[in-house]
Amino acid sequence: MNAITRLAAVISLASLFPLAATAADSKGTIEVTHWWTSAGESAAMDVLRNQVKADGYTWKDNAVAGGGGAAAMTVLKSRAVSGNPPGAAQIKGPDIQEWSQLGLLSEDALDGVAKDEGWAKLLSPTVVKIVQYDGHYVAVPFNIHRVNWLWINPEAFKKAGIDKAPTTLDELFAAADKLKAAGIIPIAHGDQPWQNSTVFEDIVLAVMGPEGYHKAFVELDNATLTGPKMAESFAALKKLAGYMDPNRGGQDWNQATAQVIQGKAGMQAMGDWAKSEWSTAKKVPGKDFQCVPFPGTAGSYTYNVDSLAMFKVKDEGTVAAQKDVAKIALGTHFQTVFNQNKGSIPVRNDIDMSQFDSCAQASKKDFDAASAKGGAQPSMAHNMATNLAVQGAVFDVVTNFINDKNADPAAAAKQLGNAIKSAQ
Ligand code: BGC
C-alpha cells in the first residue's frame, strides 16, 4: 500500500468540510501548523505573525516542536483524520502532491494572488513545480535553505591548531582528530533520525557527487542504493559518528548548534536554519563563525524549500486570511526580513542580496551556479526528494546503523535498497 492510499484510508470525508473558527473582532482567523519553534525560527515566524495581525486577521498558532517536522506531520494527520485541519500547514516537497491528491488542499485560494503578484516570473520553475498541483497553486513558498553546510567555530579550530576549513572528507576527519586531541567535541549532533539522515545525505553527496545522489535519492535506483559507493558512504558515516559526543542522546539540532556557538564543539553539519541560532546569539559570519559547504560537496547544493500549504476551508474569513498570508509571504519586504532571520535565501529571484550576510550571498551564488549544471539536488532528509514513506525507510536504516557499533556498511546498503523497495 503506498503512502497516499495509507493516508486516504484514515482520512474521513468529513475532513473535506472542516470547521473554521472566526473571531468576531477580526477579518478572519487562520490557524497555522508548523514546527518553527527554536529561537531563530520563532524570530522569523514573528515577521509573518505580526504582519497577518497588522492586516486585521487573527493568527492561531499551532506550533509543534521537533526539528525536521515529523511531530508536526503526526499532529497534522490526526487533525485531518478528525475533520479539523488548520487553515495552513508547513508541508513540503512531494508530500504537497499527496495531500492534494486526497482533495484536502485548496486549489482556488492562491491562484488569484499568484496572478496579481506575478509569481510565475518571480519563482524558478523548480519551485513552481513543488507548490502547484494540477496547474493550481496549493502552497506558498517562503525560502530556499541549503542543507549541505558545515558550521565551524574558528576559536575552537584555533585552540586545536587547525588552520583551514576542511574541504574533503579526509580533511574533515583530520580536523576532527585535532579537535578531539584538544578536548573539544569534534562534531555536535543529536541522535534524531532526521539529523542522522541529514549528515548521511551530505556524505552520499560527497562520495557519489550530484549524479550519484540523484540516482539514489530521487530515482531510487536499486543498484546505486545497494552498491559499493553506498557501502563507502555508510563506512564514512560510521567514522564520522565516532567523532560525535557519545553522550549526545537525542538532543535537538539547536542544542547541538549551541554547543558549537559556546565552543564546546568545533563543527556541526546542518542546514542553514542553524545560522538563525548564530544570528540570534549576535554572532557574525566570517568572524565568530564560518559557513562552508560540507566537505567534498562544494559545487553541489541540496535544497530545501519551506512552504505553507492551504487547506480547503469553507469559512470566508479564513480564505481571506490564506490569501493575505500568500500575499505577505512573497512580498519584497517579507522575503528580505524573514530570510535574514531564518538563515535561508529568498525564493523570489529579484531580491537584492547585498542586504544579506556572506553565508546567504554564498548560498545564492552557489544555488544559481549548481542549478545551471545539474548540481542542485532536492534534500532527501528534508522531504524534498521522496514521499514520507520512502524517507521514513531511509531514516530507519540510517538510524539503526548509526546506533549499532557492529553494523556492517555493505549490509546496511543492501538493507537500504530493500527498505526503500518495500516503502514504495
Ligand atoms: C525545515 C526548516 C527548519 C528545520 C529545523 C527543516 O526541515 O525546512 O525550516 O528550520 O527543519 O526544524
All three cell numbers of 89, joined, read 500547514
Reported as a single tens digit per residue, the pLDDT across 119-164 is 999 999 999 999 999 999 999 999 999 999 999 999 999 999 999 9
Q: pLDDT class for 18, splitting at 50, 70, 90?
A: very low
CB neighbour list of residue 244: distance below 8 Å, 6 or more residues apart: 185, 186, 187, 188, 189
- Specify the residue with its C-alpha closest to ligand 1, atom 12: 67
- Specify the residue with its C-alpha closest to ligand 1, atom 6: 68
Reduce the DSSP state of residue 337 to 3 states and report it: helix
In 240-310, the DSSP E strands lie at: 265-269, 290-293, 301-304, 307-310
Q: Is the pLDDT of residue 17 over 90?
A: no
Q: Is the pLDDT of residue 399 over 50?
A: yes
Ligand 1: centre distance to CA 272 (Å): 9
User: Measured from the CA of 273, which atom of ligand 1 is nearest?
Assistant: 10
> Average of pLDDT values for 24-31?
88
User: Measured from the CA of 38, which atom of ligand 1 is nearest?
Assistant: 12
Cα torsion 74, 80, 81, 83 to 10°: value is 150
Q: How many percent of the chain have pLDDT more than 90?
A: 93
Ligand 1 mutation target, pool 33, 35, 146, most atoms within 8 A of CB: 35
- Specify the residue with its C-alpha closest to ligand 1, atom 5: 67
Q: How many percent of the chain have pLDDT more than 70?
A: 94
Ligand 1 mutation target, pool 279, 304, 388, 395, most atoms within 8 A of CB: 304
- DSSP states along 353-370: GGGS-HHHHHHHHHHHHH
pLDDT at 7 (0 to 100): 55
Kind of pairing between the strands at 139-141 and 290-293? unpaired
CB neighbour list of residue 42: distance below 8 Å, 6 or more residues apart: 36
> Average of pLDDT values for 209-226?
98
Q: Is the pLDDT of residue 406 over 50?
A: yes
Residue in 191, 142, 194, 172 with CA at minimum distance from that of residue 345: 142
> Average of pLDDT values for 231-254?
97
Cα 315 to Cα 231: distance, rounded to the nearest angstrom: 53
Reported as a single tens digit per residue, the pLDDT across 354-377 is 999 999 999 999 999 999 998 999
All three cell numbers of 413, joined, read 546498503
Ligand 1: centre distance to CA 43 (Å): 14
Cα 264 to Cα 279: distance, rounded to the nearest angstrom: 18
Q: pLDDT class for 13, splitting at 50, 70, 90?
A: very low
pLDDT at 25 (0 to 100): 73
CATH code of domain 3-145+305-362: 3.40.190.10
Reported as a single tens digit per residue, the pLDDT across 264-290 is 999 999 999 999 999 999 999 999 999
- Specify the residue with its C-alpha closest to ligand 1, atom 9: 306
In 169-297, the DSSP E strands lie at: 185-187, 265-269, 290-293
User: Measured from the CA of 343, which atom of ligand 1 is nearest?
Assistant: 10
User: Measured from the CA of 381, which atom of ligand 1 is nearest?
Assistant: 7
Cα 287 to Cα 155: distance, rounded to the nearest angstrom: 10
Amino acid at 49: R
Q: What region does 187 belong to: left with phi over 0, alpha with psi -120 to 50, or beta?
A: beta
Q: Is the pLDDT of residue 235 over 60?
A: yes
Ligand 1: centre distance to CA 73 (Å): 13
pLDDT at 148 (0 to 100): 98
User: Measured from the CA of 379, which atom of ligand 1 is nearest?
Assistant: 7
Ligand 1: centre distance to CA 90 (Å): 10
CATH code of domain 149-303+373-423: 3.40.190.10
> Average of pLDDT values for 401-413?
97
Q: Where are the domains of the chain?
A: 3-145+305-362, 149-303+373-423
Residue 100 CB coordination number (10 Å): 20
Q: Is the pLDDT of residue 386 over 90?
A: yes
**CB hemisphere CA count around 190 (13 angstroms):** 18
pLDDT at 8 (0 to 100): 55
User: Measured from the CA of 253, which atom of ligand 1 is nearest?
Assistant: 5
Q: Is the pLDDT of residue 174 over 50?
A: yes
- Specify the residue with its C-alpha closest to ligand 1, atom 7: 68
Torsion 108-89-189-239 (CA) sign? negative
Using alpha carbons only, give the angle 13, 62, 145 rounded to the nearest 5 degrees.
Answer: 100
pTM over 0.85: yes
- Specify the residue with its C-alpha closest to ligand 1, atom 11: 68
149-303+373-423 matches 3-145+305-362 in CATH topology: yes
Ligand 1: centre distance to CA 342 (Å): 10
User: Measured from the CA of 66, which atom of ligand 1 is nearest?
Assistant: 12
Amino acid at 27: K
Which residues lie with the beta carbon below 6 Å from any ligand 1 atom? Answer: 35, 41, 67-69, 145, 253, 273, 304, 306, 382
Average pLDDT, whole number, for the chain? 94
Cα 141 to Cα 236: distance, rounded to the nearest angstrom: 34
- Specify the residue with its C-alpha closest to ligand 1, atom 10: 273
